[in-house]
Amino acid sequence: MTGPALQVRDLSVEIAGRDVVTPVLDGVGLELRRGRMHGLVGETGSGKSMTARSVIGLLPPGGRVTAGSVQLGGRELLGLGADELRELRGAAIGMVFQNPRTALYPLITIETQMANVLKAHLGLDRRGRAARIRERLRLVGIDDVDRIARSYPHELSGGLAQRAVIATALLCDPEVLIADEPTTGLDATIQRQILELIAFLQSELSLSVLIITHDLGIIAQYCDTVSVMHDGRVVEDGDMRRVLLSPQHDYTRRLIAASALRGLREERPQGAGR
């Protein structure tokens, strides 16, 4: 297949509250090419996470797609039943969310939760599952796989927990990995490790990665293409370097300027402060 791994066209979503219906996405389109990393960047309320949730069929209560199309490898996802969507999630689409500790179920070991995913999607026997789990943990850079497999989520550091989440997302060889703020809340050096891991997996497994972030630095250093979202719309998209180096939309320009915090340094008290 040569078409995009994931294509969203003209997607509109609204959320019905008690008295009012709020439009949250308005004609959103994006294209994730095979084996590439596409960034979806925006601030709170821009609709970036809502776009990701629409793709995987996990809209919040009251949420409804009013128009548009979401295609995974040419297959339309909108209108699929709950069972079909569940089959897609965790199999054809892997998901990594912001807080690894809440993504992992606290009362069972890493091995048990990974085995549950395998039971739901792949017909492997017990030994096959154990081997697959260890192979995936090794893939995400974990050395002592037996100890980590036996651990409970709270026994892992934030970085290790996120690696375990990524290993779980990759269990069934997904074509697309959706990572929603995968490093927010992690320390700078760990953030770097996790992003390097995702970039490594992308090339090693020819994964197509959709990364959702508020951090333009992640876009600038890791993404091939980008969509800038604001107020439920994509205001600018395209090749990452084109968008960041010669932004056309005023909002993109403002976001870049604010992210760099460059304008402030003239206001800082001068001198070393002795």
Partner 1 sequence: MSDPTHSDASQGAAGLDSAVAIAVEGLNKTFPSRRGVPDVVAAEDVGFTVPYGRTLGIVGESGSGKSTVARCILGLTPVDSGRIEVLGRSITDAGAKALRSWRSEMQIVFQEPYESLDPRYHVWEAVAEPLLLHTDLRGADLARRVHELLEQVALSPDLAGRYPHELSGGQQQRVNIARALATSPRVLILDEPTASLDVSVQEGVLRLLLRLQRELNLTYVLISHDLKAIRAVCERVAVMYLGRLVEIGPTDEVLSDPKHPYTELLIGAELSVDPDTAPAASVVRGEVSSAERPAGCVFTARCPLVTSACHEAQPALVEARPDHAAACILVRSGSAASQGPGAD
Contacts with partner 1, residue ranges (CB under 8 A): 43-44, 157-160, 187-193, 195-196, 214-221, 240-241, 244-245, 254-256, 258-261, 263-265, 267-274
- Among residues 106 and 269, whose Cβ is nearest to partner 1? 269
Alpha helices by DSSP H, listed for 89-204, are 100-103, 110-121, 126-139, 145-150, 158-169, 188-204
The Cα 32–Cα 3 span in angstroms is 10
The Cα 173–Cα 93 span in angstroms is 9
Q: Kindly state the smallest distance separating residue 128's Cβ from partner 1, in Å.
A: 31
The Cα 50–Cα 182 span in angstroms is 16
The Cα 213–Cα 99 span in angstroms is 13
Output the six-digit token pair for 231: 């107020």
Residue 67's CB is within 10 A of a number of other CB atoms, namely: 14
Q: Kindly state the smallest distance separating residue 71's Cβ from partner 1, in Å.
A: 29
Residue 31's CB is within 10 A of a number of other CB atoms, namely: 18
Q: Kindly state the smallest distance separating residue 244's Cβ from partner 1, in Å.
A: 6
Q: Kindly state the smallest distance separating residue 241's Cβ from partner 1, in Å.
A: 5
Beta bridge mates, 14: 23, 64
- Among residues 148 and 244, whose Cβ is nearest to partner 1? 244
Q: Are strands 208-213 and 37-41 parallel, antiparallel or unpaired?
A: parallel
- Among residues 175 and 236, whose Cβ is nearest to partner 1? 236
- Among residues 2 and 270, whose Cβ is nearest to partner 1? 270
- Among residues 64 and 241, whose Cβ is nearest to partner 1? 241
Q: Kindly state the smallest distance separating residue 61's Cβ from partner 1, in Å.
A: 19
Find where tokens 């609709």 sit. Answer: 47
Find where tokens 């953030």 sit. Answer: 191
- Among residues 88 and 110, whose Cβ is nearest to partner 1? 110
Q: Kindly state the smallest distance separating residue 229's Cβ from partner 1, in Å.
A: 12
Rounded to the nearest 5°, which phi and psi values hold at 203? Answer: -80, -35
- Among residues 126 and 274, whose Cβ is nearest to partner 1? 274
Q: Kindly state the smallest distance separating residue 162's Cβ from partner 1, in Å.
A: 11
DSSP H/E element including 22: strand 21-32
Q: Kindly state the smallest distance separating residue 165's Cβ from partner 1, in Å.
A: 16
First to last CA, the chain: 64
- Among residues 173 and 196, whose Cβ is nearest to partner 1? 196
DSSP H/E element including 7: strand 6-16
